[in-house]
Structure 1
Amino acid sequence: MESLDRSTLCLKFVHVDVRPAGIAVVTIAKEPVNSMDLAMWMELDRVLVSLEANTSVAAVIFASGLKRDVFSAGNDLMELYAPKTSAERYSNFWITQNAFLVRLYRSRLATIAAIRGACPAGGCAISLCSDVRLITPEGSMGLNEVQLGIPVPKFWGLLMGRVVSPKIAQDILLSGRMVAAAEAKQLGLVDDVVSADKLMERALAAARKACEVPPAARAATKLLLREDFCKAWELFYPTEPEYGWKFLSSASTIAVLEGAMRRLSSKGQKQEATSRL
């Protein structure tokens, strides 16, 4: 197992800076909108495995390093658009991202999502798997897959239900709507709304607070509360690619995705057209 035993690590899209007191800041920067392709998920998983193997690291903060106010626009549509990918690659993509998300949700580390701006779909999933979620006032988050004609992944939806409530989650998921920052705090989807210039300061404070308690006891309690859910998730996600590919390769889904990409392009967002799930 690789261990991150130095203070910084720079991969193609992910930068790690280990601060004093064992707090790692993981900055995701893939312009223009942090679209999450297979390479991105692989880097995130590599980083998390390395941080967990480093006994001097106690907490990790996930943040965006983009120029614009976007945490992540979610999965790269080119990983989901059947004419541009394959069943084999989709399966690898799906299993890789869910393996990372399960690892994050059960991690011994205290985990904080510092959400600057928009945080749909895959970015929202990372945030839901984190222990603490902080968002900027103009930010929004949600699992908005149905807006683009794709079902919400089962355990992503169930996870939202664990964070808020099944009823509230269902209302959000079935509409595919993005929840604005103020409402997200009211619902318990995030812990606080913080100005952009104070976001990292507050995230570091949350990490330090989490580290005040004995780490072994905190990690063990976290695992007791989440392990049954994680085991069920691990059993389920390897079965999803077969169903998912049948859905993605259907003419109706391809047409919906093509329409979504055209709409995004027509709004002057051609670069972002591959980055909305």
Structure 2
Amino acid sequence: MSALVVTELAEHIAVIRINRPESSNAINSEVMDRLSHALDQAAVNADVRAVILTGTGDRSFAAGGDLKEFHQSLRTPDDVYKKWSDMRDILYRIATFPKPVIAGVNGAARGGGGELAVACHFRVASSAATIGFVQVKLGISPGWGGAALLARTIGYQPALRLILTGKVITAEEAKQIGLVDEVAQPDRFWEAVWKFARELADNSPAAVQSILHIMRQSRNLRLEEAMDLESRLCASLWNSDEHQTAIGKFLIGKH
């Protein structure tokens, strides 16, 4: 049996791939466990500077939760809450990950798949991909934290409309509302994802981590506090090897 989550590492980039193409990369309990483990490994591996999260094949990024499994195993609201809390914790870890996480939206992202994509810091999509928060069509609401993440990403009103209508939108439509950062033709999709990740991985890991922290915390701080945090984090990097090397090259270039 093939691994349900596959991780590959090259050029300081970890590619974490949900590997259930026969089930549209639907997320079941084992995928949750494997995905959690893969994130643990990427977080502590100093060689990893950026992460790409994607699905196997070109048809589906992730179809959301495996409804067949969950409707057999989750009998009560308490069962659902406990299981959804596990996945919510994974999405929170992605949203607060200390390294950039790019969703490579290779195909359809539906329901929880949309929630997983919006948890990532960036999204690069194939022009053939579609995204839909379709839970309302099934008589439920998003349950993994995706509604809160979507509102923080594209704004309250556009998020409300997408979630309440369950509308499935194209990659280009998603880009227009700020849900997707880049769109590429299917035959250039992986090249575009890799280029995006490389631009992030080429920078100082410590500086990138500080910037991610600043941007995340600034949402919850008063302006004065957020600006002070910026100053403190920048100061903490002043004597780092990366800064000293970069500033040395800059000064030499001035002569």
Root-mean-square deviation over aligned CA pairs: 2.2
TM-aligned CA distance change 1:130 to 1:32, over 3 Å: same
Q: 2: distance between equivalents of 1:140 and 1:58?
A: 28
Structure 1 position 42, deviation (Å): 1.1
**Is 1:86 the equivalent of 2:102?**
no
Match of 1:191 in 2: 181
**Is 1:174 the equivalent of 2:155?**
no
**Is 1:74 the equivalent of 2:43?**
no
Match of 2:128 in 1: 138
Q: 1: distance between equivalents of 2:148 and 2:85?
A: 18
Q: Deviations over 1:28-58 (max 9, x none)?
A: 1112311111111111011001111111111
Unaligned runs of 5+ in 1: 1-9, 231-277
Q: Deviations over 1:38-83 (max 9, x none)?
A: 11111101100111111111111112213x51111111113543x6
Q: Deviations over 1:117-147 (max 9, x none)?
A: 2101221112111122111122111221101
Q: Is the 8 A contact 2:27 2:64 kept in 1?
A: yes
Unaligned runs of 5+ in 2: 221-255
Percent of residue pairs bearing the same amino acid type: 27
Match of 2:27 in 1: 36
Instruction: State how 1:185-264 maps to structure 2 within 5 Å.
Output: 185-227=175-217
Q: Is the 8 A contact 1:42 1:96 kept in 2?
A: no
Q: Deviations over 1:196-223 (max 9, x none)?
A: 2222211111111112332212212212
Match of 2:38 in 1: 47
Higher RCO by CA contacts (8 Å cutoff, separation 6 or greater): 1
Match of 1:101 in 2: 91
Matched letter for residue 57 of structure 1: V
Bigger radius of gyration: 2
Corresponding residue to 1:16 among 7, 26, 49: 7
Q: Give the TM-score normalised by the residue count of structure 1.
A: 0.73
**Is 1:165 the equivalent of 2:155?**
yes
Q: Deviations over 1:79-122 (max 9, x none)?
A: 543x6533465344212211111111111111111111210122
Q: 2: distance between equivalents of 1:105 and 1:154?
A: 12
